């Protein structure tokens, strides 16, 4: 049985989708959700689905090995960043090489980097009159949104689309593709 740990900072719709996708599978399961936000809705979503959920602070993440030690105990086959907003520490990346992935709400390398998440990305896509956007699932390295790309899916951006319209399209792509890509990675 493959073991998955999810990091999220907000509402946790991608985390919930992944937990439900793997719920009755015999090949993998989400064993824990970790968040840097003690008020994140992802905590409630995980608990309702009987998945361990913990929050941690910046010190536990970057200055001590507390979060690293939690991961070592859980021994995940894959660590998924699903709306997780902090830069991932190199010490964790070194301990779990090629096992940390992220989903980004744009077609990287466009609209990546520090501060480019959620509505900031969608606002920029609309402002720059992009004809298409999408999602990118990529490996995490020591730079924001610069790891090797695993998968991309595209959608059209209409001239009449608002940032909210783009967000809905991106959400649909995430819900459809993210679990399948994760499953494929776990089966490699």
pLDDT of residue 146: 94
Q: What share of the chain is helix, strand, coil (3-state, %, to 5)?
A: 40, 25, 40
pLDDT of residue 24: 87
pLDDT at 62 over 90: yes
SS3 100: strand
Residue 152: Cβ-neighbour burial (10 angstroms; 0-12, 13-18, 19+): middle
Q: Above pLDDT 70, what percent of the chain?
A: 100
Q: Residue ranges of the alpha helices (H) in 6-144?
A: 13-22, 41-48, 58, 66-74, 90-95, 118-127
Using alpha carbons, select from 55, 74, 26 the residue that is nearest to residue 186: 26
Q: Could you tell me which residues are beta bridge partners of residue 152?
A: 136
Q: Residue ranges of the alpha helices (H) in 49-162?
A: 58, 66-74, 90-95, 118-127
- Yes or no: say if 74 and 133 are a contact pair by the CB < 8 Å rule: no
Please provide residue 133's backbone torsions phi and psi, each rounded to the nearest 5 degrees: -150, -165
Q: Could you tell me which residues are beta bridge partners of residue 101?
A: 80, 139
Q: Above pLDDT 90, what percent of the chain?
A: 96
- All domains in the chain, ordered by first residue: 2-186 (3.40.50.170)
pLDDT at 34 over 90: yes
Mean pLDDT, the chain, as a whole number?
96
The catalytic residue positions are 104
Q: Whole-model pTM above 0.75?
A: yes
Q: What is the pLDDT of residues 1-16, one digit of tens each?
A: 999 999 999 999 999 9
How far apart (Å, rounded) are the C-alpha atoms in residues 135 and 129?
17
Which residues, 6+ apart, have CB-to-CB distance to 17 below 8 Å? 174, 175, 178, 179
Across 128-133, average pLDDT: 98
Q: What is the pLDDT of residues 136-180, one digit of tens each?
A: 999 999 999 999 999 999 999 999 999 999 999 999 999 999 999
- Yes or no: say if 22 and 179 are a contact pair by the CB < 8 Å rule: yes
Across 48-55, average pLDDT: 97
């Amino acid at each position: 049985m493959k073991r998955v740990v999810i990091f999220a900072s907000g509402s946790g719709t991608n985390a919930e989708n992944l937990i439900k996708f793997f719920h009755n599978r015999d090949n993998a399961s989400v064993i824990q959700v970790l968040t840097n936000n003690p008020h994140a809705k992802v905590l409630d979503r995980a608990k309702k689905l009987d998945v361990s959920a913990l929050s941690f602070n910046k010190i536990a993440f970057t200055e001590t090995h507390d979060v690293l030690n939690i991961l070592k105990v859980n021994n995940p086959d894959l660590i998924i960043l699903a709306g997780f907003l902090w830069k991932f520490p190199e010490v964790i990346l070194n301990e779990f090489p090629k096992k940390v992935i992220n989903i980004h709400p744009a077609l990287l390398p466009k609209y990546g980097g520090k501060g480019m998440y959620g509505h900031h990305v969608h606002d920029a896509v609309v402002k720059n009159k992009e004809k298409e956007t999408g999602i990118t699932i990529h490996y995490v390295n020591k730079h924001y949104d610069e790891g090797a790309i695993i998968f991309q899916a595209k959608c059209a951006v209409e001239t009449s689309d608002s940032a909210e319209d783009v967000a809905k399209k991106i959400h649909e792509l995430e819900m459809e593709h993210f679990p399948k890509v994760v499953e494929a990675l776990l089966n490699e």
